[in-house]
Amino acid sequence: MAAVTLLSTDGLCRHFGGLRAVDGVDFSLNRGEVRAIIGPNGAGKTTFVSLICGRILPSSGSITFEGRNISALPAHRRVELGIAYTFQITSIFGNLSVFDNVALAVQNSMHRAGGSFFWLDEAQMRRRIFEALDHVGLDDRHDVKASALSYGHQRLLEVAMGLALSPKLLILDEPTQGLSDAEIAGFCKLVRSIAEDATVLLIEHNMDVVMEVAGRITVMNNGTILSEGTPAEIRDDEAVQHAYLGT
């Protein structure tokens, strides 16, 4: 089956004064991929995905999602179209239960019909919440206060909040930061299961994780794409070794 492009950018730029944080990036992501974006600190990775999800708008260039130009759409409209970015939903409310934290994310996932908004009904909401919690293994902790969760489980709660939005594209920014080896192994398994229903784009510094879960890797440096390829191709790329892998 031929690959179907889910998301693409054309000449995407974001400048902050004289700083070219993202500088003319042409990028394409196929439906069903697990794609990793790597690069040294300051490479433009987080700015790039912030442009994709609408947290910031481009200085120039365009972003296309499912054939539609979304360059000027605000973040909440992109969520409605199916783009979820964990950075938008990592404000866990410690005094609320795990269930209620995910409920807040679901309530922000409104559908537009005839120019007006309507909410999911209670049964739909509960089903979506428990499906998301079950996916990350937190369904048995639904009534626990978020503040009582371990750090690793809080990160899983963040992922559940993203999954509850029923995304077509789930963007994860440094999802394994601070996790134990056992938690990282569980996260890799989780990403593979998420990819059965959604496209995954992740920024990640843990190269073992990148090499295990990503089908393709995009390497950024100085606001541009330095290289793209399979894990094996990136591992053997001399320019990447020099700029990022330190070899």
Q: What is the mean pLDDT of residues 162-183?
A: 90
pLDDT value for 110? 55
Average pLDDT over residues 9-23: 95
What are the tens digits of pLDDT across the range 70-111? 999 999 899 889 999 886 455 688 999 999 999 988 876 654
What the block records as the tokens of 78 is 């992109």
Give per-residue pLDDT as tens, 194-228.
Answer: 999 999 999 999 999 999 999 999 999 999 999 99
Instruction: Report the percent of the chain where pLDDT is more than 90.
Output: 68
Per-range mean pLDDT, top range of 79-88, 140-149, 177-186: 140-149
Output 238-247 pairs: Cβ under 8 A, ≥24 positions apart: 243/39, 243/40, 243/219, 244/38, 244/39, 244/40, 244/219, 245/207
In the CATH hierarchy, which fold is given to the domain comprising 1-74+168-187+195-247?
Rossmann fold (3.40.50)
The fold of the 83-166 domain, in CATH, is: Rossmann fold (3.40.50)
Calculate the average pLDDT of the chain: 89
The pLDDT of residue 184 is above 80:
yes
With cut-offs at 50, 70 and 90, classify the pLDDT of residue 113.
very low
Q: 131, 158, 148: which is closest to 97 by C-alpha? A: 148
Domain range summary for the chain, segments of one domain joined by +: 1-74+168-187+195-247, 83-166
> Looking only at Cα atoms, what is the longest distance across the chain?
56
Residue 208 tokens, joined: 């073992």
Q: Do domains 1-74+168-187+195-247 and 83-166 have the same CATH topology?
A: yes
